[in-house]
């Protein structure tokens, strides 16, 4: 990795126009690792632009950087000398921006900064390590190695710390290491606002989100006889009654369902407004969902699985309960 970081620095020095990109359906780590690099390169007098097919969700705005992403950027006329990708594990995660500009991506120095185990090393320079909790943690490491810490403003420090929070679920996920906490300490020394992102993304409850959660918890929550499996089926009418966003449901499952006492496995099946239904499933470390998920053709990590289907809510509920037969006994 040392030589890759050195190559990265040489590329920065020799480039004037730099394009940054991150993955589709960007999460907070993807946005703020990119933002930090954006802000630092700007201080180094580079002409920097950032692109993604989509703008970041509105609520990410609290950490200030939403406006730097330009979904309609004309990459051909920008003509970057260097492209840097943040937090994306493969080309296809760069979606249409990559698809429509393949030639430019192939013929321009392309640096990949990422922490996903599954990364396909698709750049000409690859700074990739699964030993980092998040791309934000990795970006801080790179900045340290390049002696650029002096450019980290309180705003950049807050952004990097926020990405660490969200990718580790506030030091709760197993990707948290001593180095993660030391990075956080360094960022706090650099005047990161450590309370703001914690409040905004973890503690704060909006009225609309509470209504959605309350409706689901009071009317829809089901628990198996052995108390090990909890689930809910969510028809579209519930989303119409409340203001909704499927990202709010992700929160409900990981913060509430998954923390119910006794519960080892939980899932949500909900109707999408344009097509079909989506199922999302979590389990504790005692279980491994990959075998179940693989059988049903889902996407999965060990403790999380998800898929979409054109079947009805009830059919999908039945299908999952059947796959979990052993766990229900």
Q: Which residues bind Mn ion (CB under 5 A)?
A: 29, 87, 134-135, 167
CB of residue 86 to Mn ion, shortest distance in Å: 9
CB of 32 to Mn ion, least distance (A): 10
Tokens 């950049």, located at residue: 156
Beta carbon nearer to Mn ion, 156 or 313: 156
Q: Which residue is nearest to Mn ion (CB)?
A: 29
The least distance separating Mn ion from the CB of residue 23, rounded to whole angstroms, comes to: 9
Q: Outline where DSSP puts E strands in the chain.
A: 17-22, 47-51, 82-86, 110-114, 125-128, 222-223, 229-234, 265-271, 277-283, 299-300, 304-309
**What are the distances in angstroms from CA 109 to CA 83, 106, 196, 301?**
6, 8, 37, 32
Which three-class secondary structure string do you get for 152-206? CCHHHHHHHHHHHHHHHCCCCCCCCCHHHHHHHHHHHHCCCCCCHHHHHHHHCCC
For residues 167 and 264, which CB has a smaller minimum distance to Mn ion in the complex? 167
CB of 87 to Mn ion, least distance (A): 5
Least distance between Mn ion and beta carbon 99 (Å): 22
Q: Is the dihedral of CA 40, 8, 187, 301 positive or negative?
A: positive
User: In 3D, which of 102, 47, 113, 37 has the Cα closest to residue 80?
Assistant: 47
Contact yes or no for 16/44 (Cβ under 8 A) = no
Q: In terms of CB distance, is 75 or 192 closer to Mn ion?
A: 192
Residue 166 beta carbon to Mn ion: minimum distance, rounded to whole angstroms: 8
Report d(CA 101, CA 106) in Å as an integer.
Answer: 9
Q: Which of residues 168 and 242 has its CB atom nearest to Mn ion in the complex?
A: 168
Closer to Mn ion by Cβ: residue 134 or 242: 134
**Nearer to Mn ion (CB atom), residue 22 or residue 97:** 22
The pair of structure tokens assigned to 112 is 């990949």
């Amino acid at each position: 990795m040392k030589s890759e970081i050195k190559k990265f620095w040489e590329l920065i020095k020799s480039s004037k126009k730099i394009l940054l990109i991150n993955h589709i359906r960007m999460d907070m780590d993807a946005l703020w690792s990119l933002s930090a690099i954006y802000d630092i390169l700007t201080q180094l007098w580079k002409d920097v632009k950032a692109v993604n097919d989509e703008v970041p969700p509105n609520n990410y705005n609290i950490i200030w950087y939403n406006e730097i992403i330009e979904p309609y950027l004309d990459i051909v006329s920008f003509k970057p000398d260097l492209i840097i990708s943040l937090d994306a594990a493969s080309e296809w995660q760069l979606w249409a921006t990559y698809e429509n500009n393949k030639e430019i991506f192939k013929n321009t120095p392309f640096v990949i900064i990422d922490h996903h185990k599954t990364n396909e090393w698709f750049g000409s320079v690859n700074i990739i390590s699964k030993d980092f909790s998040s791309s934000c943690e990795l970006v801080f490491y790179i900045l340290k190695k390049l002696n650029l810490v002096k450019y980290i403003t309180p705003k950049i420090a807050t952004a990097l710390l926020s990405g660490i929070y969200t990718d580790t679920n506030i030091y709760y996920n197993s990707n948290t290491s001593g180095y993660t906490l030391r990075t956080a300490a360094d960022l706090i020394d650099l005047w990161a606002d450590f309370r703001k992102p914690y409040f905004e993304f973890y503690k704060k409850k909006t009225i609309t989100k509470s209504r959605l959660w309350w409706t689901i918890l009071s009317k829809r929550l089901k628990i198996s006889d052995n108390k090990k499996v909890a689930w809910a089926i969510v028809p579209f009418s519930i989303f119409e009654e409340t203001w909704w966003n499927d990202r709010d449901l992700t929160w409900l499952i990981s913060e509430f369902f998954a923390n119910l006492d006794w519960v080892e496995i939980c899932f949500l099946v909900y109707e999408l407004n344009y097509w079909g239904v989506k199922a999302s499933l979590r389990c504790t470390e005692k279980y491994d969902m990959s075998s179940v998920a693989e059988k049903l053709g889902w996407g999965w990590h060990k403790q999380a699985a998800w898929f979409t289907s054109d079947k009805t809510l009830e059919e999908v509920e039945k299908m999952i309960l059947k796959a979990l037969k052993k766990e229900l006994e």
